Amino acid sequence: MTFVGLLAAVALPAAETAGVRQAREQLEQIRKLADAGAVSRKQVEQAAGALRQAQDDALIAETLDARVALEDLTEQQSTEATGAAARRLERQLAQLAQQAILVGEGVAPRTSLVPFEEELDATRRLVDAMEQRARSLAEIAAMIRAEQEVSDQHPDQPSIADGAIARITRFAGGSKFGNEEFKRVVLEFERKFDHKLPVSARGETALHRSMGFDHRDRVDVALNPDGVEGRWLMRFLEERNLPFFAFRTAVRGQATAPHIHMGAPSARYRTTD
């Protein structure tokens, strides 16, 4: 691979943080020195590796940013960040193995392995967290797909809150669900059950948009329609003639958790939206 090729190989999608910019500039500088014969190819490869690591670190930090809600991520972002964490783990395993060789040869003391082992443990925990976050996002995506699949397939039922709940139930209502209705639901739910309404997706999210669905004026809540809280919510919505979908179980093999979608079915975006 040429030095230019090494630059292209590390042109991964990542936030252009100060660390990424610094690593990229360092690689470009070393590449120029290599072209002039002042440094070795190995040094270029090391600089390229440092840039890849900086890009992976930026992806991870961006995804785990406390200000970024889970539903504001896309599946692609989650996949890229999870891959970045896995690559970090691979690099640290290689570094630990190299240090263990030095210890085995008597070049370095056994205690020199401790910081490598500690960093490896921390990265394993990070990978676990990223994978859990990816699973949670996949669950929300499955909900979105399930809602779209059944939006036109299930007739309305006149009253469902007190009867047997079908696997998927739709109540069309005659009123529009919007921000004021959502606020009323939240206040009444918290007054009734003394804890927050478990909202999994409110309004338009990056995930819905990336999948091509209009989720404006719609809210998904992680409540089982068979449970006390789920039946209360359905009854509350029915009494106010507000539309909703109730999902009891998985749809067509998808790992869709029970939930209630408040509002009209999520429509696909038009090309002009």
Could you tell me the CA-to-CA distances from 228 to 161, 190, 218, 225, 254 in Å, in that order?
A: 10, 14, 22, 8, 25
Q: What is the rounded CA–CA span in Å between residue 147 and residue 257?
A: 12
Q: Is 172 left (phi over 0), alpha (psi -120 to 50) or beta?
A: alpha
Same-domain pairing of 80 and 107: yes
Same-domain pairing of 16 and 127: yes
Q: Among 148, 163, 189, where does a domain finish?
A: 148
Query: Do the beta carbons of residue 53 and residue 100 sit within 8 Å?
Result: no
Same-domain pairing of 75 and 135: yes
Same-domain pairing of 14 and 130: yes
**Over its length of 273 residues, how does the chain's per-residue pLDDT go in tens digits?**
333 333 333 333 445 778 888 888 888 888 888 888 888 888 888 888 888 888 888 877 777 665 556 666 777 888 888 888 888 899 889 989 999 999 999 999 999 999 999 989 988 988 888 888 888 777 777 766 766 665 545 555 545 555 556 567 788 788 888 888 898 899 889 988 989 999 888 877 777 677 777 677 788 898 988 889 998 999 899 888 898 888 876 555 443 678 888 887 776 655 444
Name the one residue in this structure whose structure tokens are 């939240």.
186
Measuring CA to CA, which residue among 113, 90, 91, 89 is closest to residue 101? 113
Same-domain pairing of 128 and 240: no
Same-domain pairing of 29 and 134: yes
What range does the domain containing 169 cover? Answer: 153-268
Is there a domain that residue 273 lies in? Answer: no
Same-domain pairing of 25 and 157: no
